[in-house]
Amino acid sequence: MRKIITKTILLISFVSLFTDIASEMLYPIMPVYLRSIGFSILLIGILEGFAEATAGISKGYFGNLSDILKKRVPFIRAGYSLSAISKPMMAIFTFPLWIFFARTLDRFGKGIRTGARDAMLSDETTREHKGKVFGFHRAMDTVGAAIGPVFALIFLYFYPNEYKWLFIIAFVPGILAVLMTFLLKEKSGETNLKSQQNSKVQAKPGFFSYFKYWNQASAGFRLLIPGLLIFTLFNSSDAFLLLALKYSGISDSRMIGFYIFYNLIYALFSYPIGAIADKIGLKTMLLTGLFIFSFVYFFFGFAASTITFAVLFFFYGIYAASTEGVSKALISNMAKKSDTATAIGFYTSFASIMTLLASILAGLLWQTLGPKSMFMISGTGVFIVTIYLIVVLHSRQAR
């Protein structure tokens, strides 16, 4: 493991850990906080979708720009900085436009850093170890996602309903993450030289110029991406899972407890599942994860007891560990090394637009048909998408 997990991979993983402590300290209480300041379920869906769409569109552009300039660190540092300063902003004012701005700034920061960060992880390893590396990063990231809610749980136990202070406190781990990015270095001096030469020869790309990547992408990439995007259309924000707990009468503390449990499962299984994926194939592991998702969402509409919710959140953690890092590892293997950030940015850009639509549709379905129908429709849709991916990913064109 020491040879596989380099100093750079370890450092990036710790940066993600501290950032997720800050972000996930707020995520489980976000829908409750928004409801407390007057947001409807539909408006929460629009907010989350709009924020994620902003992140996605910027992921494509900045991923492409990172590849063109042959630089990773400036994008990583700027992205984490914006996310850090956005946290306390949500506690300053509570009117909708300001909340939209602060939440979007957070996701914009994610858009700036994601492609460059994932490309840097990919550059640090080889094809046969991609699952392990991305799995390790996801594990560290998700450890932070477990620590954050634990802190929120303890804080709210002593100071019930004091949500605003959590947004201010979250600034501390966010800044620690930013400081750690100053320890990152570009891979070599040669990279910087190429960057300077490239920046002189090429003009800055247009904001949507990364769309052109589709024409030069591999056949496997062009078969994989449509399936993943349709899956995303059925995969609404996790905020709806938390709202389902509240809908069932579960307290804020127990709701956060379920979210912590999910993140612990996610963190615990990310690296071993990544290692297994390297052995049995990234495609096989991805498809397995999607099948698990369809099972969880379909039965989430019927859940009523604490035990049932616990089982479903356990498998939801397994799904996340089987898909998040694995999908990026698979995409990075399908792309040229010089196009890694662009390829990941291309996918995440369109995925975030689908997330916008998914969250809006989920909000509409929840309000018109109820949560049970919303979850059943999502689970059934993902099952059909998984069958499609089984067929196309094992075709000759995808090899």
At 179-234, the pLDDT tens digits run 999 999 887 644 444 444 444 445 566 777 788 888 888 888 898 999 999 999 89
CA–CA distances in Å: residue 185 to residues 8, 72, 188, 241, 337:
8, 9, 8, 39, 18
Instruction: Specify the long-range contacts of residues 155-163, CB closer than 8 Å, at least 24 apart.
Output: 156/29, 156/252, 156/253, 156/256, 157/253, 161/36, 163/29, 163/32, 163/33, 163/36
pLDDT of res. 1: 47
Contact criterion met (CB below 8 Å) for 131 and 329: yes
Interval 303-308 mean pLDDT: 86
Question: Per the structure block, which two tokens stand in for 78?
Answer: 């700027």
For residue 203, the model assigns a pLDDT of: 55
How far apart are the C-alpha atoms of 357 and 91, rounded to whole Å? 27
Most confident of 54-63, 174-183, 204-213, 333-342: 174-183
CB atoms within 10 A of CB 96: 14
CB count within 10 Å of CB 37 equals 14
- pLDDT category at 236 given cuts 50, 70, 90 is confident
Nearest Cα to 261, choosing from 9, 14, 6, 24?
24
> What are the pLDDT digits (tens) for 45-55?
778 777 777 77
Q: Domain 7-197+214-398 falls in which CATH fold?
A: Growth Hormone; Chain: A; (1.20.1250)
CA distance linking residue 215 with residue 200, whole number of Å: 25
Q: Given this model, what pLDDT does residue 201 score?
A: 44
Q: Where are the domains of the chain?
A: 7-197+214-398
pLDDT in tens, 154-166: 888 888 878 888 8
Q: Which residue has the higher pLDDT, 169 or 399?
A: 169
Q: What is the predicted pLDDT for the residue at 195?
A: 46
Q: Which two tokens stand for residue 328?
A: 């990026």
Using DSSP's 3-state secondary structure scheme, residue 129 falls into helix
Q: What is the pLDDT of residues 270-300, one digit of tens each?
A: 989 999 999 999 999 999 999 999 999 999 8
- pLDDT of 324 reads 85
What pLDDT score was predicted for residue 188?
Answer: 64
Cα atoms in the 13 Å half-sphere on the side-chain side of 366: 21
How many secondary structure helices (H) and strands (E) does the chain include?
17, 0
Residue position matching structure tokens 């932070």: 144
Given this model, what pLDDT does residue 73 score?
94
Question: Which of the two residues, 383 and 195, has the higher pLDDT score?
Answer: 383
Most confident of 20-24, 171-175, 192-196, 340-344: 171-175
The whole-number pLDDT of residue 398 equals 54
- Residue 27 CA to residue 118 CA, distance in Å, equals 23
Mean pLDDT, all residues of the chain:
85
Please, what's the b/e burial string for 324-338 (b: 16 or more CB within 10 A of its CB; e: otherwise)? bbbbbbbbbbbbeee
The span from the CA of 173 to the CA of 168, in Å, is: 11
Portion of the chain with pLDDT greater than 70, in percent: 93
